[in-house]
Amino acid sequence: MLTFRKSLVVALAVLTFFFIFRSHHSSDLGPSFKNAHDMPVPTSLAKPKPGDTKATESAAEAKKKAEKAFATPDQPKPKPKTQISLEELHQRPLKQQLEYQFPYDVEAKFPAYIWQTWKYTPAQGEFSEDFREAEASWTIHHPSFVHEVITDEVAVHLVRHLYASVPEILEAYNALPLPVLKADFFRYLILLARGGIYSDIDTSALKSAADWIPRDVPTNSYGMVVGIEADPDRPDWQKWYSRRIQFCQWTIQSKPGHPVLIDVVANITQTTLSRKAAGTLSKDHEKIIEFTGPALWTDSIFGFFNDPEYFDMSTSKGNITWEHFTGMKAPKKVGDVIILPITSFSPGVKQMGAGEDDDPMAFVKHNFQGTWKPEELRHIGENNVKPKVK
């Protein structure tokens, strides 16, 4: 006979079973899957409910499309690094320390980060209205990216966190006597450690980074994207710029650990510490472009292109020089670096063959706030006028 107590036990058992079943059924929708950039996967890839044939087919098709889009040809995998002690690491040359801490993998995806630096963040009232539209353009064109504006105070702590195991970097960063020097150094440091896109606060995104490179170029075949800043085809070019072809460093895209970043970071660090030891670190603006700016950046890129450690020079007809890039109208790929023509990051300068803002190859607009404007560049070298360096 079913007593009241037995009835109550049965009822509780049924309710318990019901809730367990319901919870298990709900979990069929799957967890909040993440991709390589910790961004939510589109809902079309979420696991459908059992029996929902249409949803199952739709999800399967979407998954196939996603897999096809990210399919890459077979390439040798990076060799696993051997674990070493911190003491042993510090005995190695600086470049080897950086290579160990930030291994480079050309097959990795570009991290979905946008890094900018300024005195204030957009959330602070002191942030200039002159920069708001430009700063917002990066988020508008890259809605799924993490977009950070790093202040000087935050940069100090971020560098300390990222480079705690490489004390020479911290010493050099703290020793730099000018904020502009630290700002230059920081862009290389953040890209080396985290990758993504760095762009100055006075730049505007005209197109998504997904449109910078032709679709038929596999993303696992390149690890850095740079643009030409200057291509002054005239006899007095040295009065205008430091290099005949100069690569801009107001906008750079890179995967973490790229050899060019290793070189430029090691170079700045060693030069800074050498000058510090000799007591020759100063606040003189004249040599910034050579110390941390586009001249040094350009030299590091050309140095990489002609380094036998990365390229087989035995069949080369000579070094890669400025002559290989002058007058470019379309992207060029050298090894794992893609060079964009001057129009891409310098549209509208009305010189050196650059196109306008609506040119198909125009990707980033530099508004030159705090630096020389294009029309002012025409007067550099006249009446002993010297360029103002960032």
Calculate the alpha carbon distances from 155 to 117, 151, 258 in Å.
8, 6, 21
Closest CA to 266 of 390, 89, 99: 99
Please give the structure tokens belonging to residue 263.
Answer: 């070189």
Distance, in Å, from the CA atom of 17 to the CA atom of 12, rounded to the nearest integer, reads 9
- 237-254 average pLDDT score: 93
At residue 388, does pLDDT exceed 90?
no
75 or 84, higher pLDDT:
84
Q: How confident is the model at residue 147 (pLDDT cuts 50, 70, 90)?
A: very high
57 or 213, higher pLDDT:
213
Per-residue pLDDT at 170: 97
Lowest-confidence pick of 59-73, 265-279, 341-355 = 59-73
- 209-230 average pLDDT score: 94
User: In this structure, what DSSP letter does residue 40 have?
Assistant: B
Lowest-confidence pick of 69-73, 84-88, 305-309, 361-365 = 69-73
- For residue 375, what are the contacts with CB-CB under 8 A and spacing of at least 6? 350
At residue 200, does pLDDT exceed 50?
yes
Q: How confident is the model at residue 87 (pLDDT cuts 50, 70, 90)?
A: confident
Per-residue pLDDT at 223: 97
**At the top level of CATH, which class does the domain 86-384 belong to?**
alpha beta
Per-residue pLDDT at 240: 83
At residue 9, does pLDDT exceed 70?
no
- 273-299 average pLDDT score: 88
- 250-261 average pLDDT score: 97
Q: How confident is the model at residue 301 (pLDDT cuts 50, 70, 90)?
A: very high
Domain spans in the chain, listed from the N-terminal domain onward: 29-64, 86-384
Per-residue pLDDT at 80: 55
At residue 73, does pLDDT exceed 70?
no
14 or 144, higher pLDDT:
144
Mean pLDDT of the chain: 79
- 91-96 average pLDDT score: 89
At residue 21, does pLDDT exceed 50?
no
Distance, in Å, from the CA atom of 115 to the CA atom of 203, rounded to the nearest integer, reads 12
